[in-house]
Structure 1
Amino acid sequence: MKKLICAADIEALHKEGKKSLLITKQTIITPSAKDLAEEYQLAFQMQAEPEAAINLAPYESISKESLVSLLRQLIAEAGINPVANLPFAYEKHTSGMKIVKGTSVKLNPVQPDNPRLRYQELITPAESHFSAGILEIEESSYYDDTMLESLNYVIAGELQLTIAGTTYTANQGDTIFIPENQAVSWSTPNKVTILCGKLKGVGKQ
């Protein structure tokens, strides 16, 4: 069975005053463990294996659990966060069902000159008959003239919508339906977060 040697193992051996460690061909040593062993002048010594044992299992394979553990160890030691550059974390079934982890969503400015207007698309038109995302407005306004039918839910805050010269107010928990071919101005005196969903359409007719 394969054995994994990591930096913590080398540190423990060093504290015990060990100067060498017996390993076999099945031993996996992480890069950080090798570096630490060299720093502590701890030598790796290859242990002789019985010929019979080698002949019985020359192609012993590493288990899935050990491989996953090794990969996680290598990623952690390299200081790599596999999801750090993703806009959000999610789980997805082969059927297309998708669960977006809400606390992981990173919003990005919609306009370079207006950092107070942020958005992140969660469901793309390629995945569904509609697109959906999180919109955040902070002491700013947004004029939507895409002319697409939409359904929106106020997650938090107060939203003011102006359509054809009339202004309405929507608060946390409110749902807003905007029919096709209608331009709407969105604004807030403080901060508002909205879940926005738009149906596919021609738009801007």
Structure 2
Amino acid sequence: MGIFHTNAISLRQMDKTEGREIGAAVFPNIARINHSCSPNVVWSYNQLKNKEEVRAVRDIIAGEELVACYIDPVLQREDRNNLLKAKFNFSCYCQVCSLTGEALTDNEKTRREILGLKNSMLDVYRENSQRALKFAKMRVERMEKLRKEMIGALPQAYMHCYELALAEKEEEIANVYRRRGQQVATLVRGDNSLWAHIK
């Protein structure tokens, strides 16, 4: 069970805005991919093919280790490391976790803002979709500042902007977010995304 718990990958159906857990599995090759808070690969479950797919999300030079983010990328450094220690029994010393001084302060501040904006968006979206759209836009802007670290979460963030812009009948803005969302979703999930079905 220890091997399963430390190597299993959650299988998520991504044709929902937030995704839905449908199980977990151990993939012997994927299990060898180590963690980084600044990943160069992202994996996602393709339910139609019944396969976990791994995609490069940036250029990888020959000999560079493949690394994926095991946890929610929005978490603060201390929270990320506490979770990694509890779940996988290691501490992270990647380039993001090794930040110091002003770079660390800025990174942590941006992460707090991303989380706060998501919470604000979710708090108001039923009563005030215009205000929710404002929060969603601000959230995406901050996530783009940390694009390498947030790449796996960006398709869903763009989906929020797209859907809220449609709710506000802002079709031109919705189309901008659709194009951006489709670009990042193709990079992260290929055709394994709701974005692949939106024309």
Which is greater in Rg? 1
TM-score by length of 1: 0.21
**Bigger fraction of residues in strand:** 1
Greater helix content: 2
Q: Relative contact order: is structure 1 or structure 2 higher (C-alpha 8 Å, sep ≥ 6)?
A: 2
